[in-house]
A = this chain, B = another copy of it.
C-alpha cells in the first residue's frame, strides 16, 4: 500500500484527480485543503475508505473512472489534520490486519 499526502494541490493536479473520479461525481474539489492518496489492492482500498470516513471528517472517492484493474487508488479529501488522522488510522488498522 502506497500512501501520499498533497497539501493545497495545484489546479492541474486537481484536474487529473477529478478526471479519474468518474463522470458521475459531483463532488467539488476546488478549495480542498489536502488530498490523501492510497494505492493498493482493490479489496484493501475499499476497507481503507471505510476506515477513513469513520475516523475523521473526510470524504473518499475511487480514483479510476470506468476501467479499473486489480489495483486501484482512493483519494481522501478534507482539511490537512483530518486527512492525516484518517491515514494514521488506516496505517494502524491495516497493520493489525483487523477487519473494521
Contacts and interface: CB of A to CB of B under 8 A. Distances in A.
Interface of A: 2, 4-7, 9-13, 15-17, 19-20, 22, 24, 37-39, 41-44, 46-47, 49-50, 52-54, 59-71, 73-74, 99-100
Nearest to A2: B43
B100 A50 contact: no
Contacts of A4: 43-44, 46-47, 99
Number of copies: 6
30 contacts: A2-B43, A4-B46, A4-B99, A6-B50, A6-B100, A10-B49, A10-B50, A10-B53, A12-B52, A12-B53, A12-B59, A12-B60, A12-B61, A13-B50, A15-B62, A16-B46, A16-B61, A19-B22, A19-B62, A20-B62, A20-B68, A37-B47, A39-B41, A39-B70, A64-B68, A65-B68, A66-B67, A67-B67, A69-B69, A70-B71
Contacts of A60: 10, 12-13, 16
